[in-house]
Amino acid sequence: MAKRMIEKCVTAFAWLSGLLLTASVAGLMGYVFVKGAGSLSLSLFFGDTAPMDALLFRRQVFDGIFPAMVGTLTLVGLSISIAVPVGVATGIYMAEYATGRTKHIFGLFFDILAGIPSILVGFFGFSVAVFLHHQVSDRIAPCLLISALALAFLVLPYLIRTTQTALENLPRQVRVTAPALGASPIQTIFYVLLPQSLSGIVSGIILSIGRCAEDTAVIMLTGVVATAGLPSSLLSNYEALPFFIYTISSQYADHTELMRGYGAAIVLLAICALLFTLATLIRHRLSDHLLYGGR
């Protein structure tokens, strides 16, 4: 009898914890949606400026999140274009060339890089900026370029790992066929292995984009500001969506500003959800064709 009770209690506990988790996430996100739904309109993005004028950069937007979105977009574009070549190349090296001790030690370093708190990466970016300011040129201060570099360092380990895993998980058949036909190692990598593992690599890249878009800790130390308008150059300050949400939450002046914060939170959440879904869809394609043994 006591055994039956324990049995029942454990099962009930498992269901309850599932319920608790679902309820807390649904509660938190639902609140943001319900409160913020009213603020979703064109004026959330463009304020009083006409949308066309803003989109063509003819007039500045003051009361909208458009500059923050452009800032985030520029930032993500820059850091991804820095991180992807290095990360994917490192992933290929780790999967195809590195052996024994080198592979072990390099792997350890990338695990550490993946585990470093993002604020430290931001702090590193800040220190580099100040160092350059003193040593090289007065014009260098925390700015868009430094942020993009720091964010690139932040997502580098994800890119390395997804590339490496995608390559290493390829079936053995795929790996041995091309050399058997006389292909050189490089030809095998670029004509067979990379195309075959493309969906894994691409979904890793998309997840990294999501991480760049949502990160706040790195950019708050490396040049993001509350009001800067559109970024004018690589060495200028800029606005970004996550930092905008953070500033609103800590120092909103009135109800309108707070509502804009809710709107921005919904927009950021929607962007991240979209990227996440995209990455999942692409990766499912990969696992399917792994399952059925290649094309």
Partner 1 sequence: MRTERLVQHLLGLAAACSVAVTVLIFGFMVILGLPLITGGAFFQMFTSPWLPSQAVYGIAPMMVGTVSIAGLALAFSFPVSLGCAALISVLGTGPLPALLHRLVRFMTGIPTVVYGFAGIFVLVPMIREWVGRGSGMCIFSAALLLAVLVAPTMILFFSDSFSSVPKAYLTAADALGATPVQKLFHVVIPCSWRGLITGVVLALGRALGDTLIALMIAGNATAMPGSVLDPARTLTAHIALVVAADFDSLEFRTLFACGIILYVCTTLMVIFTRRVGAVSERRLWRSA
Identify which of 144, 146, 158 has the alpha carbon closest to the alpha carbon of residue 84. Answer: 158
CA dihedral 293, 160, 268, 123 (to 10 degrees): 170
**Residue 248 to residue 235: CA distance in whole angstroms:** 25
Residue 113 near partner 1 by CB under 8 A:
yes
Residue 160 near partner 1 by CB under 8 A:
yes
Residue 25 near partner 1 by CB under 8 A:
yes
Least CB distance from residue 258 to partner 1, whole Å? 9
Residue from 40, 174, 198, 272 touching partner 1 (CB under 8 A): that is: 272
Least CB distance from residue 43 to partner 1, whole Å? 20
Tell me, residue by residue from 198 to 217, as one string, x for binding to partner 1 by CB under 8 A and - for no binding: ---------x--x--xx-xx
Residues 6+ apart with CB under 8 A from 122: 150, 217, 218, 219, 220, 221, 222
Residue from 37, 42, 52, 112 touching partner 1 (CB under 8 A): that is: 112
Residue 53 structure tokens? 């004028």
Angle at 43 between CA 42 and CA 47, to 5 degrees: 135
Residue 140 near partner 1 by CB under 8 A:
no
Q: Report helix, strand or coil for 143.
A: coil
Residue from 75, 76, 221, 259 touching partner 1 (CB under 8 A): that is: 221
Residue 226 near partner 1 by CB under 8 A:
no
173-187 burial, b if ≥16 CB within 10 A, otherwise e? ebbeebeeeeeeeee
**Region near partner 1 per CB under 8 A, out of 30-38, 40-48, 64-72, 287-295:** 30-38
Residue 180 near partner 1 by CB under 8 A:
no
Residue 286 near partner 1 by CB under 8 A:
no
Residue from 184, 232, 256, 287 touching partner 1 (CB under 8 A): that is: 184
**Region near partner 1 per CB under 8 A, out of 46-54, 113-121, 192-200, 285-293:** 113-121
CA dihedral 283, 286, 290, 295 (to 10 degrees): 170
Residue 135 near partner 1 by CB under 8 A:
no
CB 75 within 8 A of CB 240: yes
Residue from 37, 52, 108, 281 touching partner 1 (CB under 8 A): that is: 108
Residue 89 near partner 1 by CB under 8 A:
yes
Distances (CA, A) of 294 to 199, 227, 290: 13, 51, 6
Distances (CA, A) of 247 to 2, 5, 217, 225: 55, 51, 12, 9
Tell me whether residue 178 or residue 269 sits nearer to partner 1 (CB atom).
Answer: 269
Residue from 43, 63, 106, 289 touching partner 1 (CB under 8 A): that is: 106
